[in-house]
Structure 1
Amino acid sequence: MTNRHKVLNEWRFKACDESEWNEARVPGTVHSDLLRTGVISDPFYGTNEHELQWIDKKDWEYQTSFTLTEEWKRCRHIELVFDGLDTYADIYVNGRHVLPTDNMFRAWSLEIGEFVLPGENTLRVRFRSPIAEDLPKLDKLGYPLPATNDQSELGGLGDRKVSIFARKAPYHYGWDWGPRFVTSGIWREVRLNGWSGPRLTDLFIRQDKVSPEEAKLTAVVEIESDAAWRGTLEVAADGQTWTQEVALTPGRQTLELAAELAEPKLWWCRGLGEPYRYEFTASLREGGETVSSRRVTTGLRDIRLVRRRDDAGISFLFELNGVPVFIKGANHIPNDSFSPEVTAERYRHEIASAAESNMNMLRVWGGGIYEEDVFYELCDEYGLLVWQDFMFACSMYPGDDAFLNSVAAEAEYNVKRLRNHPCIALWCGNNEIDSAWAHFDENGGWGWKKDYTTEQRTKIWADYEAIFHRILPEAVERWGGGIAYWPSSPLRELTGDEHQHATKVTGEGDVHYWGVWHAVEPFSNYNERVGRFMSEYGFQSFPELSSVLKYATEDQLELESEVMLAHQKNGRGNQLIKGYMDHYLPRPRDFKAFLYMSQVLQADAIQIAIEAHRRNKPYCMGTLYWQMNDCWPVASWASMDYYGRWKALQYVVRRSFSEVMLSIDGGVEGREAGEGKGVGPDTNTAADAGKGVVTVHLVSDRREPLHARLRLELFDFGGRSLGERTHEVALPADAAEVVYTAPAGELLNGHDPRGVVLLATVEQEAAGERVVLASRHHYFASFRDIELPEASVTVEEVRGSGGSAFTLSTDALARQVWLHAEEEGFFSDNFFDLIPGRPVTVEFRRRGGLGSEAFVSGSPGALSVSSMRDYTVQ
């Protein structure tokens, strides 16, 4: 038995119509290689994106050589494996064409023993232009297919959208937060495998029944053998071993071996327990020797999507190990336009940031990529569930046999690749296509259907159903190990009539609510538009100044400058931010102040949404805002910018997703003018402030009842206490309730609503000390109407902290205090309100670099502090 392994990572590349070769990096993309060799400038800087659209019109080739030594001669098989080729490629070994490829989302392998020689061999990969490859398909089809986010005009194609024909990352063709870089390249590892005899090619630990008492498992082992073979299959984990005698025949075969673990340690998502993982090893043994082995790490859990009819409709909730989980998280997009550039450290930074923000789920959105293994390994490690889309989004797709067969192979590959990860909670067919097309509602959807004849509509919908109602669910059913499949997000229920499409908020299915933002509805509508599971909603902001200056110069810092518009992919995004800001916040002093204020505005919006969703559990059992991250530096819906810098929203999310949360509404009558007609001019006056009823909500995700004291204290902006009241509260386990109500006038007790702030805290006594479980500031007037005082915020280093902890205090109310660090990292709190006499202590944690720790306590370096008054016209 012989096994050899060789990674091929020394490559060179060139355009096919040129003769000069340059060094390449594999895994990589042609854009990244052109940048490294100095052929192009930074694609993300200024308007460079517009000048680089020629790259996708060319064919490119990569070449390497490899030497086969005498040891390789003893291998009866030599296999060439590509874990990822983007996208249309022809493979040549020693000048012979051995394989064509046409799908970015799967691995490709073939036997090359007959094509190689002892000594040096050459391998060439020729990439055909995805544009040139797919334009003829559009012509052949005879009519265009909808592809809303395909920026074909920027790519010089006019309205000829070809993204739907390629099994390639949709966002490469542009999106309303991302640039158009239609890449080519060897984007995942390339290797040679030499082998003889039997070998294990896959190990899946199928979890047939998992409970705290026992785990009944089946090791599903895939084996390839080049001859008949007899021996022992052995599976080991946690000090136990299970064996069976096996007789293999030549070829591929699948064996199953039952295994049981008594009282297993279960895998739990963040907030519910430890994400414990077991290591399983499968081995083929003969005469006491191991012939071949394979190892996987997995967690034991029972995860279900529970859709149960109730008085309000049909539930949409995840149940982990029998426990209903309120989902708190975000939508994830690729971390880079050139995904091979994302390092393991960048992945860890994102996942750890999600965990630090009290999330328990990320949704891998369907317009990007099936993520790298390290992404899912980190989600396993940190206890983050994953809602996994298949890679289809906001488009209709062709249904010819070649395309459908490619989709089927892609689905099998990725479901099998990811099925051992305990984080996988759901497979979803696509993003927004069911509701966009709205086949059963003539007047519903995004208006796509009107452009097609009845015959064309019938064909397009039949192709849709072939993919999302047949091929993908069959793949999940066959290889997914019991994970649920959801055809499209959003969707009400697969009914085959007009009740299927989630074109409005109803009592079933999941919801993408974009009334705030796209429809210019007021923030207060977040309180009204609450569904059973809120899988998308969002609001934009700009990155901070240091990030903006990575792609723009000082003289380009204007809202409508060419560069700012190039880094705003939502057509009217900048004006929407400005319009909402004019309605809700004081006027910023200049564009630099506008950057800061846009983050405050975004945070305010999403805080309202998250709190509304959490207050409505168990009717609503999940909230995933759009979006966690960016693929380039841009104004977008992200809570963390391209460089990993936390925006104000990330800090608000951290507070709003805490285990115990306070939420207060009411008493701000002048805040939501124009409801139902968008956020037009505010017709109310400051005299309307401080009216109505103030309602205090308490939300707890704890698995045991909560007994605490609610303290409400009113302060003027100078820090003088104007009154205090306390109230004992009792909350059942895992519950949300109103714990206090009072007329705003009663709480104000005659004080000017524009000059006071209410501080609410939920406290417990522990070891004789007061422990604050949650706190919240509440104002009785619109932030636009409040005149903020000049505030001097002081920062004092905490003695003994090694320069990592600081206490902040102020001489007057300071709103949205922003600590900005020279070093990369995050503070334990930021963008918070500071009341005189109520100091706040924060700790800084630096990015951990190349180590296993994502964040480590340390000095922030040069530290600056500011607040809203510093950025606004008074």
Structure 2
Amino acid sequence: MTTAPTQQTALPSSQVLPVGWQLRALDGPVPASIAGVVVEATVPGLVHTDLLTAGLIPDPFLDRNEHAVTWIGETDWEYSTTFEWAPDGNTRHDLVFDGLDTFATVVLNGATLGSTRNQHRTYRFGIDEHLREGVNEITVTFASPVREADRASLEIGYRPHTYSHPFNAVRKAACNFGWDWGLDAASSGIWKEARVEGWSGARLASVRPVTGVEGDRGTVAVHVDIERDGGEGDDEFILELSGCADASATVGAGATSATVEATVEDVQKWWPRGYGEQPLYDLDVTLRRDADVLAGRSLRIGFRTIEVVLEPDADGTSFEFVVNGERVWVRGANWIPDDAFVTRVNRERLAARLDQAEFANLNLLRIWGGGYYESDDFYDLCDERGILVWQDFLFACAAYAEDEPLWSEVEAEVRDNVTRIMPHPSLALWNGNNENIWGFEEWGWEKRVQGRTWGLGYYLDLLPRLVSELDPARSYTPASPWSGTTEIFANDVDHGSVHLWELWNRVDYPAYRDVHARFVAEFGWQGPATWSTITQSISDSPLTPESPGMIHHQKATDGNDKLTDGLVAHLPLPDDTEDWHWAMSLNQALAVTVAIEHQRSESPRCMGSVVWQLNDCWPVTSWAAVDGYGRAKPLLYALKHVFEDQLLTIEPRGAGLAAVAVNDSPSRWDEETVARRVRFDGTVLAEHRYQQARDARSAETTVLPDEIAVPGDIADELVVVESGGRRAFWFFAEYRDSALAAAELTVDTIAVDGGYAVTVKAGSLVRDLALLVDKIDPDAVVDDMLVTLLPGEQVTFTVTMTEKVALERFAQSDVLRTANQLVADWA
């Protein structure tokens, strides 16, 4: 137990420095209207956001304003503030920055404390020599990130990279320099908290709890690093645990590290969502000298075992997440920064995004290597919700020099972030990089690097060594995609994790069914942002798919051409812009549905599907399910359906069809199954009933008889399979080649608490019924979408919104959408 502290000379103190900061431009292509202007600055914050708040720049999210603000990344900037300080009895004082973006020089009272070159590190400067009683002045000068990246590229030598800036020459978020879904808006600023800390005797420099489970007993070994104040004498300290575990250890005189171990009886295991509960335990770590408390840290931990298993087998090499000894079928999405200006992302916004992840039945988010190590709030929320986190180290789509100063910067960055993130039970995997080994093998990098280092030493040496040292209970993979060894092509579908981009880039989405992967870590299909987001951010008149603003908000190379090529085999290309928007939104959802249904149907050969991507960072045509203003696209509803615990899907098998029942729930699913071949008018042409036992966490395949699988008229028939309230459809012909007629709909809308209930009854076959309620109110949300109805069936949608509207608005053709509109109007 912790001994109550007696009176001591000084208690640790912390003075946050959030107010009073000022910002001004220094050298660079600064517009005359801004040169010499001093702006009130927010810390944490960025230059872009401060200039926006001051009304000095246009919003780069709107129209083509991105071009009007690129000068910001080419300019040097200065932040300055003052703070008052009085002696507090502490022997040491540090100026701490949790994050500086990126090329900063820190000065206190005219004395240079140091310079930084890594956005992803915490910086601590001893300031006792320069600290004054009374008013103290801090200046932080930021060099242009664009010019610094160019300069670093020349100094260390060219390495291949994607896009226009050599982001791989510096340690700054790669996508901050622009991506095929992101702004070119290279930022500068004090992007995390700044504070003055006072302490005496010693402080806890790092705290790393390594947890495990042995039967019903939880184990925790807390490793700490200690910084001593350098005073006279080498005192002994006591390191104590309290909260969920009580234990203590003596820290010997002069020692700078220690470990204390404890057990927790009758521990409740932490599970991913869908597999169990997420109990979290409070753990307090205290460092004291005799009865004097010198430092403390409060953590929230969970007890579970987790590993990612790559093992050779008869089919190649597995890739499986195993939690508490149970294999988890991963239903995941890739995560990118939720705003191009990352300091605008707060806990409330993250919670809203994770609400959408849960709505989509996701159990894993992969934090992609071209962005950031996420905030503590992100990992806290994943802990609470049971969402597993796959964390890339920050290397993406480029070759990276292994020379100094980068090697040491990478090591310091990794030590900082592994130590910060590893206490979270949701953290499931550390991954070395995104696509870099694959890029070296297939993208022509080998000849371009001319024998120079390109990053393999990080992925096979430095990173695994640091993970083993700092977080030994976690799995590590060198790359994504990764086959398990450098002896096998990184993106081999039979081995490990794969990225599937040929289908979007060059083939078509039905060909997803020809790929038999073990684990799909990236794949996706583009679609536009929601209509309200487009009209809020683009003022083109007329607005067309190729009008200037629309094209500017399409960052992918030949993106619109790929959208068109991926549509016209399935649906006709509309000429009306709103119809084009609906067609492309629907086609995105259809493509991803085909892929995931196939991947889930191949369980357990395939053990995971991680779609690219959940979210966006600004309003853009992209692969996201949620657009840059946080609004759900039809794709999010498709993910909700296809990632449900129990899924029925109809898949081609050989020359016929098979019904696959995927039961990823903890209970058996033994309902009778009915398969019917039906005409579009609802006439049943053939019926087949069968009983099938579906164990928990299993997939069962039943080949359908020819009377069901072989059509008489491919244009006017479909197969329907139903079991236990689940349903699957198979259409023999593409939409555009079918006899799909105009939808006959009856709509009944009533006001309910919090919004409206909209009941739609079908008088004919209706495919992919949707309510695009953001056209009525940008903040409105509907509970479902993409519903197919047979003649005579109905569905009720619940719309959450505060705005009062005429009830008939929900029945108007721009809001109430179907695939029928696209086909019947074209025909």
1:526 maps onto 2:487 in alignment? no
Instruction: Identify if the C-alpha distance between structure 1 residues 262 and 182 changes in structure 2 by more than 3 Å, giving closer, same or farther.
Output: same
C-alpha deviation, 1:503, in angstroms:
4.1
C-alpha deviation, 1:547, in angstroms:
1.1
- Count matched residues: 796
C-alpha deviation, 1:288, in angstroms:
5.7
Looking at structure 2, the residues matched to 589 and 129 of structure 1 have their Cα atoms a distance apart, in angstroms, of: 44
Looking at structure 1, the residues matched to 808 and 433 of structure 2 have their Cα atoms a distance apart, in angstroms, of: 44
1:184 maps onto 2:188 in alignment? yes
Secondary structure in structure 2 of the residue aligned to 1:784: helix
Looking at structure 2, the residues matched to 313 and 417 of structure 1 have their Cα atoms a distance apart, in angstroms, of: 36
Answer yes or no: is the 8 Å Cα contact 1:846–1:859 preserved in 2: no
Looking at structure 1, the residues matched to 296 and 55 of structure 2 have their Cα atoms a distance apart, in angstroms, of: 45
1:726 maps onto 2:710 in alignment? no
1:194 maps onto 2:198 in alignment? yes
Letter in 1 for 2:797: V
- Aligned to 1:19, which of 33, 36, 49? 36
Partner of 1:793: 745
Secondary structure in structure 2 of the residue aligned to 1:122: strand
Answer yes or no: is the 8 Å Cα contact 2:64–2:549 preserved in 1: yes
Secondary structure in structure 2 of the residue aligned to 1:355: helix
Which string of whole-angstrom CA distances, capped at 9 and with x for unpartnered residues, describes residues 666-700 of structure 1?
49x9xxxxxxxxxxxxxxxxxxxxxx523211111
Answer yes or no: is the 8 Å Cα contact 1:718–1:811 preserved in 2: no
Looking at structure 2, the residues matched to 802 and 37 of structure 1 have their Cα atoms a distance apart, in angstroms, of: 36
Pairwise mapping of residues 371-770 of structure 1 onto structure 2 (< 5 A)?
371-438=374-441, 445-451=442-448, 456-457=450-451, 459-461=452-454, 464-495=455-486, 497=487, 499=488, 501-505=489-493, 507-518=494-505, 520-666=506-652, 693-719=656-682, 724-743=687-706, 746=708, 750=712, 752-763=713-724
Answer yes or no: is the 8 Å Cα contact 1:510–1:532 preserved in 2: yes
Secondary structure in structure 1 of the residue aligned to 2:240: strand
**Quick one: percent identity of the two aligned structures?**
34
Looking at structure 2, the residues matched to 846 and 392 of structure 1 have their Cα atoms a distance apart, in angstroms, of: 41
Looking at structure 1, the residues matched to 806 and 278 of structure 2 have their Cα atoms a distance apart, in angstroms, of: 30
Which string of whole-angstrom CA distances, capped at 9 and with x for unpartnered residues, describes residues 478-535 of structure 1?
101321111111121224x4x2x32442x212101112011x2132221121211111
C-alpha deviation, 1:446, in angstroms:
0.9
Moved more, 533-542 or 221-230: 221-230
Instruction: Identify if the C-alpha distance between structure 1 residues 162 and 586 changes in structure 2 by more than 3 Å, giving closer, same or farther.
Output: closer
C-alpha deviation, 1:284, in angstroms:
3.3
Partner of 1:441: none
Letter in 2 for 1:782: E
Moved more, 485-494 or 633-642: 485-494
Partner of 1:139: 154
Moved more, 216-225 or 521-530: 216-225
Pairwise mapping of residues 281-292 of structure 1 onto structure 2 (< 5 A)?
281-285=284-288, 290-292=293-295
C-alpha deviation, 1:724, in angstroms:
4.3
Partner of 2:340: 337
Answer yes or no: is the 8 Å Cα contact 2:240–2:286 preserved in 1: yes
Moved more, 718-727 or 361-370: 718-727
Secondary structure in structure 2 of the residue aligned to 1:186: coil
Secondary structure in structure 2 of the residue aligned to 1:530: coil
- Aligned to 1:277, which of 260, 277, 280? 280
- Aligned to 2:50, which of 12, 33, 39? 33
C-alpha deviation, 1:816, in angstroms:
1.6
Looking at structure 2, the residues matched to 46 and 293 of structure 1 have their Cα atoms a distance apart, in angstroms, of: 50
Answer yes or no: is the 8 Å Cα contact 1:759–1:777 preserved in 2: yes
Instruction: Identify if the C-alpha distance between structure 1 residues 552 and 320 changes in structure 2 by more than 3 Å, giving closer, same or farther.
Output: same
Moved more, 696-705 or 525-534: 696-705
Secondary structure in structure 2 of the residue aligned to 1:106: coil
Partner of 1:866: 817
Flag structure 1 segments of 5+ consecutive residues without an equivalent.
Answer: 152-160, 439-444, 670-691, 764-771, 848-857
Pairwise mapping of residues 102-121 of structure 1 onto structure 2 (< 5 A)?
102-121=117-136
Secondary structure in structure 2 of the residue aligned to 1:623: strand
C-alpha deviation, 1:736, in angstroms:
1.2
Secondary structure in structure 1 of the residue aligned to 2:160: coil
Secondary structure in structure 2 of the residue aligned to 1:759: strand
C-alpha deviation, 1:844, in angstroms:
4.0
Across the aligned residues of Structure 1 and Structure 2, the Cα RMSD in angstroms comes to 2.5
Partner of 1:166: 170
C-alpha deviation, 1:333, in angstroms:
0.7
Letter in 2 for 1:38: G
Looking at structure 2, the residues matched to 263 and 73 of structure 1 have their Cα atoms a distance apart, in angstroms, of: 45
1:779 maps onto 2:759 in alignment? no
Instruction: Identify if the C-alpha distance between structure 1 residues 660 and 114 changes in structure 2 by more than 3 Å, giving closer, same or farther.
Output: same
Which string of whole-angstrom CA distances, capped at 9 and with x for unpartnered residues, describes residues 632-665 of structure 1?
1111111111111111111111111111101113
C-alpha deviation, 1:748, in angstroms:
6.9
Looking at structure 2, the residues matched to 162 and 731 of structure 1 have their Cα atoms a distance apart, in angstroms, of: 52
Moved more, 727-736 or 752-761: 752-761
1:818 maps onto 2:818 in alignment? no
- Aligned to 1:828, which of 783, 789, 814? 783
Looking at structure 1, the residues matched to 376 and 564 of structure 2 have their Cα atoms a distance apart, in angstroms, of: 40
Pairwise mapping of residues 262-273 of structure 1 onto structure 2 (< 5 A)?
262-273=265-276
Which string of whole-angstrom CA distances, capped at 9 and with x for unpartnered residues, describes residues 765-794 of structure 1?
xxxxxxx1x222222211111243222434
Letter in 2 for 1:487: P
Looking at structure 2, the residues matched to 99 and 806 of structure 1 have their Cα atoms a distance apart, in angstroms, of: 62
Instruction: Identify if the C-alpha distance between structure 1 residues 366 and 4 changes in structure 2 by more than 3 Å, giving closer, same or farther.
Output: same
Pairwise mapping of residues 200-239 of structure 1 onto structure 2 (< 5 A)?
200-207=204-211, 209-226=212-229, 227=231, 228-230=234-236, 232-238=238-244
Moved more, 817-826 or 322-331: 817-826
Flag structure 2 segments of 5+ consecutive residues without an equivalent.
Answer: 1-9, 28-34
Letter in 2 for 1:694: L
Letter in 1 for 2:537: Y
Looking at structure 2, the residues matched to 176 and 860 of structure 1 have their Cα atoms a distance apart, in angstroms, of: 40
Looking at structure 2, the residues matched to 841 and 759 of structure 1 have their Cα atoms a distance apart, in angstroms, of: 21
Looking at structure 2, the residues matched to 206 and 448 of structure 1 have their Cα atoms a distance apart, in angstroms, of: 39
Instruction: Identify if the C-alpha distance between structure 1 residues 165 and 861 changes in structure 2 by more than 3 Å, giving closer, same or farther.
Output: farther
C-alpha deviation, 1:353, in angstroms:
1.0
Partner of 2:6: none
Looking at structure 2, the residues matched to 861 and 131 of structure 1 have their Cα atoms a distance apart, in angstroms, of: 53
Partner of 2:5: none
Answer yes or no: is the 8 Å Cα contact 1:846–1:860 preserved in 2: no
Secondary structure in structure 2 of the residue aligned to 1:614: helix
1:242 maps onto 2:242 in alignment? no
C-alpha deviation, 1:622, in angstroms:
0.9
Moved more, 788-797 or 391-400: 788-797
Answer yes or no: is the 8 Å Cα contact 1:78–1:192 preserved in 2: yes
Taking structure 2 as the reference length, the TM-score comes to 0.92
Secondary structure in structure 2 of the residue aligned to 1:113: coil
Partner of 2:14: 5
Answer yes or no: is the 8 Å Cα contact 2:598–2:651 preserved in 1: no
C-alpha deviation, 1:869, in angstroms:
3.0
Instruction: Identify if the C-alpha distance between structure 1 residues 32 and 610 changes in structure 2 by more than 3 Å, giving closer, same or farther.
Output: same
Answer yes or no: is the 8 Å Cα contact 2:210–2:471 preserved in 1: no
- Aligned to 2:144, which of 118, 123, 129? 129
Looking at structure 2, the residues matched to 715 and 648 of structure 1 have their Cα atoms a distance apart, in angstroms, of: 27
